[in-house]
Amino acid sequence: MRSILILAAATVLAAGTALAQSSTATGVSRDFNPAISVNTLLLGRVADRTAEPAYNGADLQEAEVQFTSIVDPYWKADLVFAIHPQHGHDHGEGEEGADHGGYAGDVEVARIAGQAIPGGFGLVVGKDYLPFGKHVPLHTHQFAFVDAPAAIQAFLGDHGLTETGVRLSHDLPLPWYSDLTAYGVDGRAEIFAAESRDLAWGARWSNLFDLSLESTLEVGGSWLRGPMAPDYLLLHDDETVAGDLQVWGADVTWKWVSAAASRGPALAVTGELILPRPDQGASDPWGWYAQAQYRFKRNWWLGLGAGGLDRSLPHEEEDAEEEEHGHGHGLGPWEEMREYKLNLTWVPSEFSAIRLEAARFDDLVGDADDTVFSLQFNFTIGSHPAHLY
Amino acid sequence: MKTILTLTLATVLGAVTIAGAEPLQVVCTLTDLGWLAEQVGGEDAEVAVLCPGEYDPHFLPARPSLARALGKADLLCYNGLDLEVGWLPVLLDKARNPRVRDGQPGCLDCSLALATVLEVPSGPVSRSQGDVHPQGNPHYLLDPRNGVRVAALMAERLGELRPEAAGRFRQRAADLAAALEPRIAAWHAAAEPVRAHPLVHYSKQWEYLADWLGLQLLGAVEHRPGISPSPRHVDELTGRARAAGVTELVAAPWNHLDAAAKAAERMGAALVVLPAAVGSQPGADGYPEMFEVIVARLVAAAGE
């Protein structure tokens, strides 16, 4: 009897093993699961001004869950879900010093990319970051500094410019690498009028020159047009401006990566200019940033950045705007400002980093100056991420 | 009218014939693979390489301009075993070339040629082991016998893509094997003095070389891939190296040679920097030349 039981147990175990190897009978298999990775940013910081909870204390900055897989011979899919703190100003309530509102989730990316498109065209359908300049397409954990430059937040949205639509790309037949991308999307990001039925359109032209084995120069231009959000110009709440918004951008990046050693010296310098051109409501707002990242030792990066913006608000609306919007865009709704950033990052492996940063914001019109010190922990679990250039 | 149509048809057919005779565009991720593809492809293939020999193939910056060559390729030959996982997916996306997408005949994982993959983890893997390769050690081209196997695999795939030249591809692969095999035996014999003492290596890159030449590897300074070694580990390895009479610490040109030199000095061993890829050092301009340099340097250091 005991032998029969042992034999039966062995049979069941063997059958279990066989089922684990072949899922035909159960329909359960891990073979086709997507590659999964999770990136998390933890952030602690203190600011001179104490009204803004997001800038005083420690919290989750963002957790990003990414799924990637080949769908079939025709499509590859990417889904990215982001979880981040929700503060009062996220509700659009304009609450001064609003309380922490728990955590909110967003679908940052839900896209499929064509795998069998003929003629060298790239086709992407779905929700994705718009290809505007160098900074907008970056996920938060890819930023050179803790926050996006003030000009990017002010003119292209502080929650990311991720939209649903179609984009088409092609490598132009030029002697250098020259990529042209055009897109049409349903503009729902905060810079667009979400209720409008008009689509937003745009294009990016990126040119990359190989200067040597180790260095490249990239020169790009971007443009987008869409229905402008009523509060884009930060006017008084009851003074909304209708019409279209155009934004022009230009960027230059020089990059050098030494071949002499694995993760050896490297330097990347980027400058970007953003020129919003609303159909009406403001003269010529503009913003810019410049940043340098230098890997001076195998596991150590130094970052240096500066930037600024000028909204050119009509003078008589300035006080009302300060009063009503409070801290609607990060630390301040600056009319004209300059920012300076310095950070040091320790990257012990490809899967974790610790960043210490100091940032100074100078308000050139009002008195919303600030100094912020940040400590950021960045870690990734799951599949190995490919590195963007 | 009929004459014009005939002429047009003849022109089109002529163009098609000429196009059919054009060399296959082969893109290889590594210089070693590029050299092998050139030998097998001959005048029937034009070969481009993505990762220059000077770069550590784990960390090649994925310059978009590299995608342009990939966009024109009929065949992509890559090392596999996740060696290029940090940059090849980005380039494949930018290349927008359906011919070389995963699963297509134009996409060849050269690790499929191997008889044995070394260091395939037998238990659970985690990042506590560093940036470990779950499918096994990917540096198999440092065993020239694997180069012969890869060349044969390339010949088969090239023959599938260009059946009319299949015989030539196979013949070139056979000629290459015939030319390399006596040299492989000679290199093995020449390495006899190196087998007398165990070696220390800086990173886990030389297992296939050691397996072929019968060398003893005592341990790696960077024992967890991609993670800087701890002083405690280096102390422990130094003690074992001194006890075992280690005379050589081998490293790749892109390893952190200052740290390697300090470790070698503490162990009382010579730091021997070896070409870890074709073109990674002067003199290693081809696959056989790379092994000439490797064996000569190992033997010279063993005799010091």
pLDDT tens figures, B240-257? 999 999 999 999 999 999
Residue A113, pLDDT score: 96
Contact B182, B200 (CB under 8 A): no
- CA–CA distance, B139 with B226 (Å, rounded to integer): 15
Kindly state whether residues B172 and B196 are assigned to the same domain: no
* pLDDT of A43 higher than 70: yes
Q: In chain A, whose CA is at the least distance from the CA of B55? A: A259
Concatenate the DSSP letters of all residues of A23-83 into one string.
-TTT---STTPPEEEEEEEEEEEEES--S-GGGSEEEEEEEEEEEEEEEETTEEEEEEEEE
Q: For residue range A81-130, what is the model confidence (pLDDT) as tens digits?
A: 999 988 654 444 444 444 566 899 999 999 999 998 999 999 999 999 99
Residue B193 tokens read as 């003095």
Residues of A in contact with B131 (CB under 8 A): 349-351, 384
Out of A122, A260, A384, closest to residue B86 by CB: A384
pLDDT for the residue A327: 39
The predicted pLDDT at position A30 comes to: 75
Is the pLDDT confidence value at A328 over 70?
A: no
Q: Round to whole Å and give the CA distance between A159 and B210.
A: 53
Residue B55 CA to residue B277 CA, distance in Å, equals 9
Residue A224: name the closest of A125, A133, A312 by CA. A133
Q: At B91, which CATH number?
A: 3.40.50.1980
Taking CB atoms and an 8 Å cutoff, what residues of chain A touch B86? 350, 384-387
Q: Residue A387: inside a domain, yes or no?
A: no
Residues of chain B with Cβ-Cβ distance to A386 below 8 Å are: 62, 85-90
- Closest C-alpha among A41, A220, A296 to residue A147: A41
C-alpha distance from residue A173 to each of A132, A140, A177, A216, A308 (Å): 22, 33, 8, 19, 36
Candidate from A262, A349, A388 with C-beta closest to B254: A262
Q: Which of A32, A262, A347 to mutate against chain B (most B CBs within 10 Å)?
A: A262
CB contact A180 to B (< 8 Å): no
Is B8 a domain residue? no
Q: Which domain range does residue B284 map to?
A: 191-302
> A20: pLDDT confidence band, cut at 50, 70 and 90?
very low
CB nearest B59 (choices: A76, A169, A262):
A262
Mean pLDDT of B189-207: 94
Nearest to B102 among A70, A260, A298 (CB): A70
A297 touches chain B (CB under 8 A): no
Mutation target for A interface from B96, B255, B281: give the one with most A CBs within 10 A.
Answer: B96
Question: Is residue A319 domain-shared with residue A364, that is, in the same domain?
Answer: yes
Mean pLDDT of A142-165: 91
For A132-155, letters b (16+ CB in 10 Å) and e give bbbbbbbbbbebbbbbbbbbbbbb
Assigned token pair, A379: 């870690």
Question: Which CATH number covers residue A117?
Answer: 2.40.160.10
Please report which confidence band the pLDDT of residue A189 belongs to, taking 50, 70 and 90 as the band edges: confident
Residue in the structure block whose two tokens are 């900055």: A61
Task: Please give the Cα distance from A137 to B41 (Å, whole number).
Answer: 40
In chain A, which residues have their Cβ closer than 8 Å to the Cβ of B225? none
Query: Residue A63: which pLDDT band, with cuts at 50, 70 and 90?
Result: very high
Report if residue B5 sits inside a domain. Answer: no
Quick check: B56 and A262 CB within 8 A?
Answer: yes
Predicted confidence band of residue B101 (pLDDT cuts 50, 70, 90): very high
Q: Does residue A388 sit within a domain?
A: no
Residues of B in contact with A206 (CB under 8 A): 64
Greater model confidence, A387 or A150: A150
Report which residue type is found at A300: W
Whether residue B7 is contained in a domain is answered as no
Confidence of residue B130 (pLDDT cuts 50, 70, 90): confident
Q: Are residues A208 and A348 in the same domain?
A: yes
Distance from CA of A298 to the nearest CA of B (A): 8
Last residue of a domain, one of B168, B186, B204: B186
Q: Are residues A288 and A304 in the same domain?
A: yes
- For residue A346, is pLDDT > 90? yes
For residue A87, how many other CB atoms are within 10 A of its CB?
Answer: 21
Q: Please check whether residue B13 lies inside any domain of the structure.
A: no
- For B42-69, write each residue's pLDDT tens digit: 999 999 999 999 999 999 999 988 999 9
Q: Residues A246-261: what's their mean pLDDT? A: 93
Q: What distance in Å separates the CA atoms of residue B279 and residue B290, rounded to the nearest whole number?
A: 8
pLDDT at A15: 43
Give the pLDDT score at B304: 64
Q: Is the pLDDT of residue A360 over 50?
A: yes
- pLDDT grade, residue B98 (50/70/90)? very high
pLDDT category at B297 given cuts 50, 70, 90 is very high
Q: In this complex, do B255 and A262 lie within 8 Å of one another by their Cβ atoms?
A: yes
Distance CA A381, CA B2 (A): 69
Nearest to A348 among B93, B97, B228 (CB): B228
Helix (H) or strand (E) holding A153: helix A150-156
Predicted local distance difference test score (pLDDT) of residue A331: 54
* A83 shares its domain with A213: yes
Q: Is A223 within 8 Å of A249 (Cβ atoms)? A: yes
In a domain, B14, yes or no: no
Same domain, A25 and A114: no
Domain assignment of residue A278, given as a range: 34-382
Cα–Cα dist B224/A181, whole Å: 41
- Quick one: closest CA in A to B96, which residue? A120
Q: How confident is the model at residue B82 (pLDDT cuts 50, 70, 90)?
A: very high
Answer whether residue A173 is part of any domain: yes
Query: Domain tally for chain A?
Result: 2
- CB within 8 Å: A179 and B96: no
Residue B82 lies in a domain: yes
The pLDDT score that the predictor gives to residue A51 is: 60
Average pLDDT, chain B: 91
Give me the pLDDT at residue A100, please.
Answer: 62
Instruction: Report if residue B3 sits inside a domain.
Output: no
Domain-ending residue, one of B130, B153, B186: B186
**Best A76, A109, A349 residue to mutate vs chain B (most B CBs within 10 Å):** A349
pLDDT at residue A50 in the model: 61
Q: What's the number of domains chain B is made of?
A: 2
Q: Are residues A21 and A156 in the same domain?
A: no
Mutation test of the interface with chain A: which of B51, B91, B127, choosing the one with the most A Cβ atoms within 10 A?
A: B127
Q: What is the pLDDT of residue A312?
A: 67
Distances from the Cα of A207 to the Cαs of A249, B77, B97, B147, in angstroms? 14, 27, 20, 37
Same domain, B166 and B247: no
DSSP code at position A328: -
Q: Which of B138, B160, B186 is the last residue of a domain?
A: B186
Query: Residues A280, A144: one domain?
Result: yes
Shared-domain flag, residues A130 and A272: yes
Per-residue pLDDT at B203 exceeds 70:
yes
Residues A240 and A121 in one domain: yes
Average pLDDT over residues B280-289: 96
Contact A125, A112 (CB under 8 A): yes
Residue pairs spanning A and B at CB distance below 8 A = 102
Task: Specify whether A39 is located in the same domain as A20.
Answer: no
Question: Is residue A48 in a domain?
Answer: yes
The whole-chain average pLDDT of chain A stands at 83
Residue type, B45: A
Among A149-158, B24-33, B152-161, the least confident range? A149-158
Residues B182, B100 share a domain: yes
How many CB atoms neighbour CB B293 within 10 A? 18
Least confident of A173-177, A191-195, B281-285: A191-195
Confidence tier at B15 by pLDDT (50, 70, 90): very low
Confidence of residue A169 (pLDDT cuts 50, 70, 90): very high
Residue bearing the bigger pLDDT, A10 or A39: A39
Same-domain pairing of B213 and B128: no
Average pLDDT (A12-22) is 44
Judge if A1 and A131 occupy the same domain: no
B46 with B171, same domain: the answer is yes
Phi, psi dihedral angles at B228 (to 5 degrees)? -60, 135
pLDDT value at residue A305? 98
Same domain, A4 and A139: no
Contact A108, A82 (CB under 8 A): yes
Task: Check whether residue B77 and residue B223 sit in a common domain.
Answer: no
- With an 8 Å Cβ cutoff, are A298 and B256 in contact? yes
Q: Is residue A389 part of a domain?
A: no
Kindly determine whether residue B68 and residue A177, on different chains, have CB atoms separated by under 8 Å: yes
Residue of A350, A352, A379 to mutate when probing chain B, most B C-beta within 10 A: A350
Classified as helix, coil or strand, B231 is helix
Q: With respect to residue B217, please indicate whether it lies within any of the assigned structural domains.
A: yes
